[in-house]
Structure 1
């Protein structure tokens, strides 16, 4: 049986396979990565309890580290009863997601971390506790982090640590915590050309939608201030969904695909209440590559279930739908919110678009080598900005 067919099959068989991989130390690889997203939540709870409750340095292996990494994304609360054990064993040590199990951890976990960060501990242990405290995103923990950053001292300014979890230096959230997924028509994407590529069967591609349809792709109405070409239309969305205002009127989100990231790393625009879009970047450039507009279609919005509230670009490995409105960004590199060109404040995350979007010529559009494009907004100034990251 091919893996896509298996992942569409009975949930109990998927759980049995994952259990067998974990208990026998088989080479899980891509099969384990994919199967963990197709477990029921109850099965995920059972497996976490079975393999994490008794975890120690002797039975920790790569497969269990994978289970912990995906659980920290899909259901971090399942790991919360075992946080003291995880702090001691340190699964995924040295990875950027080692502290994710502490996301929104309870007060008892914060108290334990505060003890571990005490002045008597060595610098490495204090930094480990600092990073776990930061990931809780709780106000009491962040206050403690600010103090620890000075006393340890931390490797970077506190502002960078706050931005990494989606907060400004003043403590304001830089993202709306009610994400939505963009759902495309079933035949919009080109089928995978390789047999080993999983088709779009991950649950985030199958979310239930409702309400209005919104125009995606095509040519925009504005003009690029750098090359003078027509802007490329990304998507038209209600202003109250993207942080431009509290009004439901549609805003056309546009940028120049020819210049973005190639001629300038960040492009900025002002949105007039009339709907007119003005490029705030000025210059005279001739793009090395002229981009074709993205293929037009109508997309719908789907409320993001709690299980997929957090998504990671690397761990998704091309399987997941990362086309999202709001929520915490799936950064390819470090967090990087541009400053508004008008007021200078950090802009709020608005949306992200993954690579492999078809263009009007039938080719796949890649952000750089295959990363993600991020959009940001500043409501007081009615500005938007775009940038992309790749490896």
Structure 2
């Protein structure tokens, strides 16, 4: 089984069109920055992930870590969006709240052919390259669920959502998101143009 890993590839501009963590999200005109459903503070932007079916933008609350339901898909502590490729502009970043990561990380991809799932691919890369934290997650493939019952269905159509990516915390303290030592999961429903993000630890 092949797994496509996302690998840290240095820094990039805050509005780069390619895959990255951190920076400023590219959004449709009129976009409203998401607020946490618990603390009502502005969320932190985590990742910009261009895919064939659109651009996924991922956010979570970082204002009071561990207190704002970041672990569930629909409880208000995180948010993901599936945007069309065309017409996106840099978002206006709120002036208050923990809204941005400490650095912007470019992402390159590397395929590990002999892996038996994501965890195996990540370990294979770390063994070969000696840089386990350089793995920022994966794109496509099968999700490495710890708790299968947390896999969400689309709230619009009720169908199973398509797995898009795993997200790790980050390459170092400057670039890292606070995922509580867990692993992030990004899923989308293309017909409904919806996306979700949740964390398992």
Q: TM-score, normalised by structure 1?
A: 0.35
- Specify the SS of the correspondent of 1:373: strand
Structure with more of its chain in strand, by fraction: 2
State the 1:215 CA deviation.
3.5
Distance 1:214 1:363 in 2: 14
1:304 is aligned to 2:133: no
**Cross-structure match for 1:378:** 189
Shift of 1:217: 0.6
Question: Which of residues 194, 207, 230 in structure 1 aligns to 2:42?
Answer: 230
Q: CA deviation at 1:367?
A: 1.6
Q: Are residues 381 and 262 of structure 1, via their aligned partners in 2, closer, same or farther at CA, if it must alter by over 3 Å?
A: farther
Shift of 1:347: 1.1
Distance 1:325 1:258 in 2: 24
- Residue 114 of structure 2 aligns to a residue whose secondary structure is helix
CA contact (8 A) 1:294 1:358 kept: no
How far, CA to CA, are the matches of 2:51 and 2:184 in structure 1? 19
| Match in the other structure for 2:100 | 293
Distance 2:160 2:18 in 1: 30
- RMSD over aligned Cα atoms: 3.7
- Using the alignment, how far apart are the partners of 2:175 and 2:109 within structure 1? 26
Partner of 2:9, secondary structure, is coil
Q: Distance in 2 between matches of 1:363 and 1:322?
A: 10
Q: Distance in 1 between matches of 2:175 and 2:49?
A: 25
- Structure 1 or 2, whichever has the larger Rg, is 1
Q: More helix by proportion, 1 or 2? A: 1
Aligned-residue offset at 1:378: 0.6
C-alpha distance after superposition, 1:144-166 (max 9, x if no partner): xxxxxxxxxxxxxxxxxxxxxxx
Farther-moved stretch of structure 1 (219-228 vs 301-310): 219-228
Q: Is the Cα contact below 8 Å between 2:163 and 2:185 reproduced in 1?
A: yes
Q: 5+ residue gaps in structure 2? A: 28-32, 90-96, 127-131
Higher relative contact order (CA 8 A, sep 6+): 2
Structure 2: how far apart are the matches of 1:217 and 1:364? Answer: 9
Counterpart of 1:327 in structure 2 is 141
Q: Unaligned 5+ residue runs, structure 1?
A: 1-74, 76-177, 189-211, 277-289
Structure 1 counterpart SS, 2:157: coil
Q: Secondary structure at the match of 1:312?
A: helix
